[in-house]
C-alpha cells in the first residue's frame, strides 16, 4: 500500500483532503460536524454532574428523603452504563445519523419530563430515560467523528477538541448547575438540555448523511442481554455500596452476579456468529490500553470532582457558582493540552510516553491535594494542583479516545466508540462509589472515641478527603503502570484495513 509522508495511507489522506470523509458527513462541512457532535457529547457528559448541585433544591421542592436522593444520580448512571454497548451496535446496524438524531430527541424529551416532574418518581424515571437515550447518543457521536475524519492530521485536531470536551464536561456541569440553580431554578438544570439538543439536532439534520456500513452485522441478542445485565449489576453494586456498605447482600450479590454475567458474555463473544463486541476491537494493544486508560482516569477524576466540590463548599464556604468557577482553570489547561497532545506530541512520540506521563501528573496532583486544610487558600493551594490535573487529563483523554477508535472497520465504529464511553462511565461509577465508601469509613474512624466538636468534625471531613485523594492517586499510579506496559512505542500506525475502506465510505 502506498503511504504519504505523514504515515497515513494515501487513499485515506486523499479522501480527507477532498472532504469526502464518510457516509455520515457532508463533504465540505466536517468541522461543523465536529461542532454538532461535540455539543451532543458535552450535553451527555455534563448531565452526569449538572444535577448534583441541584439536588438539595429538588429535594426541598419535591419532598423526597435523603435516602432516596442518590437515585436521581444512580438512575442516570445505571441506564447509561448498562446500555452503552447496545447503543454502539445500534449505530452500526441502523446508521449513525438516524441513531444520533433519535438519541438527541429522546434525551431532550426525557429532560423536559424531568424538568417538569411533579414528583420524585417522575424525576427518577426521566433521569433513567436520559441515561438510556444518552447510551444511544454518545457512541453514535464518537463513531461519527471516527468516520468523518480519516486524514491523520485532521483527525488529531478533531480528537484533541473532542477529548477536551469529554474531560471538561464534568467540571462544566458543576459550573452550569451552580449558575442555573442559584439564579433560576433547579429545573433549568434539565431544561437547558432542550437548547443543546435543538441546536445539535438541526445541525445533524442538515450536515450528516444517512447510511450504515454495507456489511453491517446482525444484532447479537444473547450478548446484548448478557453485557447489559452485567454492566447494570456492576453500576448498581457499587452504587449500593455507597448507601449500605460492602457487606450488604445488595452489594456483593450484584457484584458477584456482574462477574458471572460478564464472564459468560466474554465466553459467548468468542462463539457468536455476529458478536456484539468482536474480539478484534479489544485485542489490539493500543486499543486495549486506551480502554483501560479511560476506565482508570474516569475512576480517579469523577471522585475528585465530588470531594473537591465538598471541600470548597463545606470548608472554604464557596457558593455553588463560585465552586464551579474554581474549576475553570482546570478546564482551560485540559482543553489546550488535549489539542496540543494529539497534534504535536502523539504524532511525534506516540502514546507510550504521553499517556503514562499524564497518569503520573494526575496522580501527583491527587497527592498534592492531600495538603489542603482548613486554612488553605484557593490561589496558593487549590489552583496549582488543579492546573497539574488538567495537564495530566489532557494528555490522557484525547490520546486514548483517538487510539481507541483508530483503525476500526466501518461496521465496528459504533461498538468501539461505545467501549470508550463504557470504560469512562463504569470507571466513574466504580471510582465514585469506592472513594465515597472509603472516605465515609475514614471519617467515622477518625471520630470514634473522641469528644464531638465543630473543629473535630471539620478535621474528620478533611481526613476523609485526604483518603479519597490518596486512593485517586493510586488509580492513576496503576494507570501509569498499565499504559506504560501496553502501549506500543513509536508513532501510532493507521490500520490498513481501515484505510482501504476510506474511499468506499466516501463514495457512499
Tens digits of residue pLDDT in 211-244: 555 666 677 888 888 988 988 888 888 777 767 7
Average pLDDT over every residue of 456-467: 88
Same domain, 205 and 257: no
The b/e string for 56-68 (b: 16+ C-beta within 10 A; e otherwise) is ebbbeebebeeee
**pTM score, whole prediction:** 0.79
Is the predicted pLDDT of residue 274 greater than 50, yes or no?
Answer: yes
Average pLDDT, the chain: 81
Q: What is the 3-state secondary structure (H, E, C) of 401-424?
A: HHHHHCCCCHHHHHHHHHHHHHHH
Assign residue 54 the CATH number of its domain: 1.20.1250.20
Is the predicted pLDDT of residue 110 greater than 90, yes or no?
Answer: yes
Same domain, 208 and 233: no
How many distinct helices (H) and strands (E) make up the chain? 20, 0
Same domain, 164 and 262: no
pLDDT (0 to 100) of residue 214: 60
pLDDT (0 to 100) of residue 7: 39
**Which of 355, 41, 4 lies closest to 154, judged by CA?**
4
Is the predicted pLDDT of residue 450 greater than 70, yes or no?
Answer: yes
User: Is 381 a member of any domain?
Assistant: yes
Same domain, 249 and 290: no
Residue 123: C-alpha distances to residues 61, 70, 76, 134, 181 (Å): 12, 12, 11, 16, 16
The overall longest dimension of the chain from CA atoms, in Å, is 76
More confident position, 133 or 73: 133
Same domain, 42 and 64: yes
Residues 6+ apart with CB under 8 A from 196: 39, 40, 42, 43
User: Is 19 a member of any domain?
Assistant: no
User: Is 181 a member of any domain?
Assistant: yes
Is the predicted pLDDT of residue 105 greater than 90, yes or no?
Answer: yes
Q: Backbone phi, then psi, for 347, in 5-degree steps?
A: -60, -30
Q: Mark which of 275, 295, 311 sits at the end of a domain.
A: 275
Is the predicted pLDDT of residue 199 greater than 80, yes or no?
Answer: yes
Average pLDDT over every residue of 197-206: 90
User: Is 502 a member of any domain?
Assistant: no
User: Is 508 a member of any domain?
Assistant: no
Confidence bin at 88 (pLDDT 50/70/90)? confident
User: Is 245 a member of any domain?
Assistant: yes
Same domain, 201 and 118: yes
Same domain, 190 and 71: yes
**pLDDT tens, 10-68?**
333 333 333 344 444 444 577 888 888 888 888 888 887 788 777 778 888 888 776 67
Q: Which residue has the cell 489539542?
A: 339
pLDDT (0 to 100) of residue 320: 77
Residues 6+ apart with CB under 8 A from 507: 20
User: Is 14 a member of any domain?
Assistant: no
Same domain, 252 and 164: no
Residue 294: C-alpha distances to residues 163, 171, 359, 430, 479 (Å): 11, 17, 11, 13, 9
**pLDDT tens, 278-316?**
788 777 888 889 999 999 998 888 767 778 888 888 888
Report how far Cα 115 is from the mean position of its chain's Cα atoms.
Answer: 23
Same domain, 281 and 331: yes
Same domain, 171 and 264: no
User: Is 144 a member of any domain?
Assistant: yes
Least-confidence region, from 23-27, 170-174, 330-334 = 23-27
Overall domain count for the chain: 2
Which set of grid coordinates corresponds to residue 49? Answer: 454532574
Please provide the size of the chain in residues.
508
Structural domain span for residue 256 = 229-275
Same domain, 269 and 287: no
pLDDT (0 to 100) of residue 67: 62
Decide: 104 and 90 in contact? Cβ < 8 Å. Answer: no
Same domain, 267 and 303: no
Confidence bin at 354 (pLDDT 50/70/90)? very high
**pLDDT tens, 11-23?**
333 333 333 444 4
Amino acid at each position: 500500500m502506498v503511504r504519504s509522508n505523514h504515515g497515513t495511507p494515501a487513499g485515506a489522506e486523499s479522501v480527507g483532503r477532498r472532504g469526502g470523509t464518510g457516509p455520515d458527513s457532508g463533504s465540505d462541512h466536517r468541522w461543523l460536524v465536529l461542532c454538532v457532535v461535540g455539543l451532543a457529547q458535552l450535553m451527555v457528559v455534563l448531565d452526569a454532574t449538572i444535577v448534583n448541585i441541584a439536588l438539595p433544591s429538588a429535594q426541598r421542592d419535591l419532598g423526597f428523603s435523603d435516602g432516596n436522593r442518590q437515585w436521581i444520580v444512580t438512575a442516570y448512571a445505571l441506564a447509561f452504563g448498562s446500555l452503552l454497548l447496545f447503543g454502539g451496535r445500534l449505530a452500526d446496524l441502523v446508521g449513525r445519523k438516524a441513531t444520533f438524531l433519535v438519541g438527541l430527541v429522546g434525551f431532550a424529551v426525557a429532560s423536559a419530563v424531568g424538568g417538569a416532574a411533579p414528583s420524585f418518581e417522575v424525576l427518577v424515571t426521566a433521569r433513567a430515560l436520559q441515561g438510556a437515550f444518552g447510551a444511544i447518543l454518545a457512541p453514535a457521536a464518537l463513531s461519527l467523528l471516527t468516520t468523518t475524519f480519516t486524514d491523520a492530521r485532521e483527525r488529531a485536531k478533531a480528537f484533541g477538541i473532542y477529548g477536551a470536551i469529554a474531560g471538561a464536561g464534568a467540571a462544566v456541569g458543576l459550573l452550569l448547575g451552580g449558575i442555573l440553580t442559584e439564579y433560576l431554578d433547579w429545573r433549568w438544570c434539565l431544561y437547558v438540555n432542550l437548547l443543546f439538543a435543538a441546536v445539535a439536532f438541526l445541525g445533524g439534520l442538515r450536515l450528516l448523511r444517512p447510511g450504515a456500513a454495507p456489511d453491517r452485522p446482525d444484532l447479537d441478542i444473547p450478548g446484548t442481554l448478557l453485557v447489559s445485565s452485567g454492566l447494570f449489576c456492576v453500576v448498581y453494586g457499587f452504587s449500593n455500596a455507597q448507601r449500605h456498605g460492602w457487606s450488604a447482600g445488595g452489594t456483593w450479590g450484584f457484584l458477584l452476579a456482574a462477574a458471572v454475567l460478564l464472564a459468560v458474555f466474554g465466553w459467548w463473544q468468542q462463539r457468536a456468529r455476529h458478536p456484539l463486541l468482536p474480539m478484534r476491537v479489544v485485542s489490539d494493544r493500543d486499543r486495549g490500553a486506551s480502554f483501560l486508560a479511560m476506565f482508570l482516569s474516569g475512576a480517579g477524576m469523577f471522585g475528585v470532582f465530588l470531594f473537591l466540590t465538598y471541600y470548597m463548599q463545606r470548608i472554604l464556604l464557596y457558593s455553588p457558582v463560585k465552586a464551579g468557577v474554581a474549576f475553570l482553570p482546570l478546564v482551560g489547561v485540559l482543553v489546550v493540552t488535549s489539542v496540543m497532545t494529539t497534534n504535536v506530541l502523539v504524532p511525534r512520540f506516540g502514546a507510550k510516553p504521553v499517556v503514562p506521563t499524564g497518569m503520573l501528573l494526575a496522580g501527583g496532583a491527587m497527592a498534592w491535594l492531600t495538603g489542603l486544610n482548613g486554612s488553605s487558600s484557593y490561589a496558593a493551594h487549590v489552583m496549582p494542583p488543579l492546573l497539574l490535573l488538567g495537564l495530566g487529563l489532557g494528555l490522557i483523554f484525547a490520546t486514548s479516545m483517538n487510539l481507541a477508535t483508530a483503525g476500526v472497520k466501518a461496521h465496528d465504529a459504533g461498538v468501539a466508540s461505545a467501549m470508550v464511553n463504557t470504560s469512562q462511565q463504569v470507571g466513574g461509577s466504580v471510582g465514585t462509589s469506592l472513594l465515597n465508601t472509603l472516605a465515609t469509613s475514614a471519617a467515622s474512624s477518625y471520630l470514634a472515641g473522641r469528644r464531638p466538636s465543630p473543629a473535630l468534625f471539620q478535621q474528620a471531613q478533611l481526613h476523609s478527603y485526604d483518603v479519597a485523594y490518596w486512593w485517586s492517586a493510586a488509580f492513576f499510579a496503576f494507570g501509569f503502570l498499565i499504559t506504560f506496559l501496553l502501549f506500543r512505542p513509536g508513532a501510532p500506525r493507521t490500520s490498513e484495513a481501515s484505510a482501504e475502506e476510506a474511499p468506499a465510505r466516501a463514495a457512499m
